[in-house]
Chains A and B, each alone.
Chain A
Amino acid sequence: MRSKPTRASSTDVADAVGLERDLRLVGQRVIRHDARDKVTAATAFAADWAMPGMLHGVVLRSLYPSARIKNIDATRAASMPGVAAIMTAKDVPRNTLWTDVPGQTTAVGSLRAKLHVLAEDRVRHQGEPVALVAAETEEQAREAAEAIAVEYELLPGVFDPAQALEPGAPRVHEEGNLLAHWRVCHGDVAAAFARAAVVIEGDYRTQFVDAAYLEPESGVAWIDSDGVITIRVSTQVIEHFRDVAEVLNVPQNRVRIIGTYLGGGFGGKEDVTVEVYLGLLAWKTGRPVKMVWSRQESLLARAKRHPFRLRYRTGALRTGQIVAQEIELLADAGGYAYLSALVLLYATVTAAGPYRVPAVSVDARVAYTNNVPTSAMRGFGAMQVVFGYESQMERVARALGLSPVEMRKINALSRGDTLPVGQVVDTHVALPELAERAWAALGELTPPRAPHVKIGRGLACNFQPYGRIVWLHDWSSAWVGFEMDGSLVVRSGVPDVGGGQASSLCQIAAEVLGVPLEQVSVYIADSALTPLAGTTTASRQLYMSGNAVLKASRELCEQLLKAAAAVLGVDRDAVGLADSAVRTADGRSLPLPELLHACSRMGVPRSHLGVYHAPAGEPVDLEKGAGKVFPDYTYGAHAAEVEVDTETGVVKVLKLVAVHDVGRAINPLSVEGQIQGGAVQGLGYALMEDVVVEKGINMTTSFASYLIPSAVDVPDVRAIVVESGEGLGPFGARGIGEPPIGPPAAAVANAIEDATGARLSVLPLTSERLARALGLM
């Protein structure tokens, strides 16, 4: 029986010939091959790799957030035992990388941002790489790095984005400290506020956050027998082979990146990490080199999530309908641009939330400071604003006496609505249902266990783009082919960050081509040998590479079925693939290996390369509200129940329900894992995670000071998967990698207000902040 009328070719074919073919594998709770491998410790992570004659590389980093480098003396270090190479900026063929910072307002103009591979005459943040050492052992490399004498002259620094934008502030870069500025003007905001029955103002702050993956940045590089600089590395982006080539000044086809299964990425491995340094040291020494950043190093110097200041003014009618949003955003880029301008773009586009708001103005800026740099992290700007808009929603609802669910229902976007940036929402928005289900799933209210303990509940919704900005013309490719025995091979350049990216591709190929999952082998993330699939970022891989595999599989299926029809002497429409065989409408079957041999004799290819191009568009002027920015969005709603100790301010989250419309769950186990993992990471963000940076100095460089929740600190997250079938991905799937991290902070803050009447507006929501808000101290 057909379960959905929109199923495409191979399934339709099967249906047409009367073979019962519901989806066999898509939608099943499949145990991922990579999960099994990780549990049995079979996975060779990047740091598990070793090669004969391998050196160990380390990075010497700046001690100061803002200083001039007057001199670097490595003579003593160079003569130390085991040292094979020491490199400073002058040894790097192309030390300066320029990137175009996109889509500026006229106030800023277009900007080219500069990044040095190794610091030249000055350092702009603590932990900035200054020199490289390769030695026979890691010990020797570290000792030599400590022996490099760097003479610094301290310079004034600026450590706050607002101060950085004041006239006369110390300049982090010559061009000035304003890195990007986006604006949205939609409708007549002043007139809309004049109509409002209630106007709520709020000022919110979010913090620096670390990706804190289990696996720190790591890799091994060597010059292979063909002379190609080969780097086996933990990365979300194998396309960084181009950056390595640029730095080494070699042709791009002389660098190969082999991506490993990651022990977590979360955006922290989206920018270049160790690969450029590994490439340099292998190129310089001619020997294999390994580099593994220590936890302290990773916490000290790796790009963090942007802290934001969010200023909201929200106007609503007595009915609860939001009529105006006036929003100001200011983010801290730290010492270098990285992806700050794009992070800010995501924040700008989503700042008003998944709601229909007729008049919106957004003024968003990101400034350079001498703090640790910030860049991509799960949610990418679109998550920081959730704390702003969902706190505001709650406060408006309270002011008007509306329930949290009613408030969302009144304002939720729906198909056909236009976002403030002019994008028309053209897929289904299930927000009212998601909010209702999340709230209902909290069940009975937990009774307080003592008189000084209060219980409260909060709701927060979000929407998160999946897929890259449409004017980036995103594409992905995948190769699907049969071996002669009927086993199937999938090749795709997708890095698997732990979300089951590779496994889902296998499921899709096996589904379409009628073979059991065990018959599929998948090769991923090799820039030389797998078709490029683009980055595992922006919640895009299932959508993009899933579509590429789907396309390749369907076209291969078509190719094979045509051949099968010829072999069997029937119409093309009378054959289908199932259970590793060709089946005909009249009950005959041809085992797959026989068909494949026949193909071989007839010169019919047994493989296909599929390329999927996302719907593309041209750059839009956000201010004028001209059109589409993102392909589509994933919507979610979380409901939290908290217990607050009104004497100490300690908050305990008793329940968290996380509901997302994922379009279609290819593997519900993976989807639930993403939702639970994201929600828990969101709870860490809500309650404890905080990179403390004082005057540019990072105070939280170990897990004793940078707190992430452990299993006992979080409740069992109840994940509810809603499938509208409305996504742009394979079988109607939407991206779910980033979305679940968005709502928890606002849901918890709203629950705290519900319990105590106190509104917290600074993250993380620590017990000390609550104690102050409760007037306890």
Chain B
Amino acid sequence: MKPAPFTYVRPKSLAEALGCLDDDGDAKLLAGGQSLVPLLNMRLVRPTTLVDINALPGLATISPTPDGGLVIGALVRHTDLLASPLVRERTPLLAAAAAHVGHRAIRNRGTVGGSLAHADPAAELPAAAVALDATLTIVGPAARRTIPARDFFVGPLVTALEPREMLTEIEIPGPVQRGWGFAEMARRAGDFAIAGVAGIVTPAAPGRGRSSTARLVAFGAGDTPLRLPGAAALLAGQPIDRALARAAGDVAARECTPRDDVHATADYRRHLVGVLTEQVVLDCAARLGS
């Protein structure tokens, strides 16, 4: 099918884009179109105006921050994440996550901002953003605000974005997280995951008495990217071995909240979260060299 009729605008500045959103309460932003266009074609959404943000300046850049982190513009494509030496060096977890998004044609068009704003509970980048403790910058008619990724995702396809707001960039804090892991299982190459896990283990800072900490985030296993605090707590301050990783997997399987759908039952997703958590924890540890 084809979309219901709509007006198409292609603003040249952020202010103009926000103005378009202001003018029409039923407007929608168009970034890579990889999630929006299928919804339009199936007429699951019928916006009256489509605000194409691809011509907005300055949103497609990846810039280093002094603390070793990165600021990534909303229009950066998944392919750019994969191609960027900066991303690979400073946020290898994000590059690994992007590699699992769809197929090349989709990665060439799809954007970081679109992926986060779309907030599919099985998507990779939202989970990676939460695991990396990213901060999102949102601009609206009145002001600019920031929000931690962990508070941004509200439910399936629902975020903290207000109708007239736009996501402009995400910041991933430094220092570089070397203890990362990422694993997912999909029924078919390039499909959304049945379930997946992203993880970061931060080593104890030598001589400062802080023990190691972990952040584990499951996707495809709840209504949003799902933090696994119980599993992460188990790892805190402990040397990681197979038994501990397995124990963390068991806790993760218990604390996730997946649902049934045509592709898999909640039980199977739970099982996968357990197995994948174990694998991710071991990968984090191996990368830390512990």
Contact = CB atoms under 8 A, between A and B. Distances in A.
A139 B189 CA distance: 34
B185 A650 contact: yes
B142 interface: no
Contacts of A584: none
Nearest to A452: B275
B267 interface: yes
Interface in B184-218: 185, 187-191
A700 interface: yes
Interface stretch (A309-317, A424-432, A621-629, A765-773): A765-773
A44 interface: no
Contacts of A176: none
A705 B270 CA distance: 20
A688 B268 contact: no
Contacts of B1: 142, 294, 296
Interface string B147-187: 00000000000000000000000000000000000000101
A692 interface: yes
Contact of B272 (A648, A699, A766): A648
A710 B187 contact: no
B268 A712 contact: no
A713 interface: yes
Contacts of A705: 262-263
A138 B255 CA distance: 49
B264 interface: yes
B268 A777 contact: yes
Contact of A776 (B42, B189, B271): B271
Contact of B265 (A142, A692, A713, A768): A768
A406 interface: no
B2 interface: yes
Contacts of A766: 187, 264
A709 interface: yes
Contact of A777 (B2, B187, B263, B271): B271
A647 interface: yes
Given A647-B275, A648-B275, A776-B271, A692 B187 contact: no
Contacts of A702: 42
A544 to B, nearest CB: 38
Interface in B1-43: 1-2, 42
A748 to B, nearest CB: 15
A707 B187 contact: yes
Interface string A749-777: 00000000000000000111001000011
Of the four ranges (under 10, 10 to 19, 20 to 34, 35 or more), the interface on chain B belongs to: 10 to 19
Interface string A293-304: 010100000000
Interface in B232-278: 262-265, 267-268, 270-272, 275
A311 B148 CA distance: 57
Given A139-B2, A777-B267, A777-B271, A710 B189 contact: yes
A692 B187 CA distance: 15
A700 B271 CA distance: 24
A692 B265 CA distance: 13
B228 to A, nearest CB: 18
Interface centre among A692, A705, A771 (most CB of B within 10 A): A771
Nearest to B195: A648
A681 to B, nearest CB: 15
B42 A710 contact: no
Contacts of B187: 688, 707, 766-767
Contact of B268 (A294, A647, A699, A771): A771
Contact of B262 (A692, A709, A713, A771): A692
A771 B271 contact: yes
Contacts of B262: 692, 699-700, 705
A688 B275 CA distance: 22
Nearest to B268: A768
Nearest to A768: B268
Interface in A608-627: none
A776 B262 CA distance: 20
Contacts of B188: 688, 707, 709-710, 713
B276 to A, nearest CB: 8
Interface in A680-714: 688, 692, 699-700, 702, 705, 707, 709-710, 712-713
Contacts of B2: 139
A692 B261 CA distance: 11
Interface in A469-519: none
A713 B265 CA distance: 22
22 contacts: A139-B2, A142-B1, A294-B1, A647-B275, A648-B185, A648-B271, A648-B272, A648-B275, A650-B185, A700-B262, A709-B188, A710-B188, A710-B189, A710-B190, A712-B190, A713-B188, A766-B264, A767-B187, A776-B271, A777-B267, A777-B268, A777-B271
Given A699-B262, A709-B188, 8 more contacts: A648-B185, A648-B272, A688-B187, A702-B42, A707-B187, A707-B188, A766-B264, A768-B268
Interface of B: 1-2, 42, 185, 187-191, 262-265, 267-268, 270-272, 275
The 5 A-B pairs of least Cβ separation, nearest first, read A768-B268, A712-B189, A777-B271, A647-B275, A692-B262
